[in-house]
């Protein structure tokens, strides 16, 4: 059975950038035999991957054409922001650069996204969740094509 990151929860980011990881997310890491997350900045939030899943993405990125503008932008914007964050005592410490990229304040939301989870500032998450809830009927035809 392959468990994935699912569900969402509210958390408090302390002054040192420490963030508690929910037990169900730590269980995913445990199943993969990992105690480390790779966290990067994307779309006004942070994306956190188990190291194994990050490695798959990184291997694909390593094969991007050397002079492809989209590939260069992806490497500069997404890959260069990545930081390994070891889970210690059920928490990770986010570096200031990532906190700044995502506009994280004290209250944050962790949202499971199957192979990754997102870390959002609570205010930004509330706005984004309303936006996607309102747009879900428009997305439904594409989901039907995927047989979801």
Give 33-57 as a 3 state SS string: CCCEEEEEEECCEEEEEEHHHHHHH
* End-to-end Cα separation, the chain, in angstroms: 20
Quote the number of domains for the chain: 1
Joined tokens for residue 136: 């879900």
Domain membership of residue 19 (yes or no) is yes
pLDDT at 132: 86
pLDDT at 138: 66
- The CATH code of the domain that includes 32 is 3.40.1550.20
Q: For tokens 């094509």, what's the residue?
A: 145
Domain membership of residue 46 (yes or no) is yes
pLDDT at 2: 74
pLDDT at 3: 85
User: How high is the mean pLDDT in each 10-residue block of the chain (148 residues)?
Assistant: 89 96 95 94 96 94 91 92 96 97 97 97 96 73 64
Joined tokens for residue 24: 């169900």
Distance of CA 7 to the CA centre of its chain: 13
pLDDT at 135: 72
């Amino acid at each position: 059975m392959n468990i994935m990151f699912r569900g969402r929860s509210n958390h408090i980011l302390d002054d040192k950038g420490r963030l508690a990881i929910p037990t169900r997310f730590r269980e995913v890491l445990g199943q993969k035999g990992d105690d480390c997350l790779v966290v990067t900045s994307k779309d006004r939030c942070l994306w956190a991957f188990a190291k194994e899943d990050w490695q798959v993405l990184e291997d694909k990125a390593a094969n991007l054409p050397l002079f492809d503008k989209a590939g260069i932008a992806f490497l500069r914007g997404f890959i260069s922001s990545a930081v390994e964050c070891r889970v210690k005592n059920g928490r990770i410490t986010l570096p200031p650069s990532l906190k700044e990229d995502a506009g994280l304040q004290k209250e944050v939301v962790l949202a499971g996204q199957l192979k990754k989870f997102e870390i959002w500032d609570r205010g930004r998450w509330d706005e984004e969740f309303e936006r996607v809830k309102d747009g879900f009927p428009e997305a439904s035809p594409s989901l039907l094509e995927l047989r979801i």
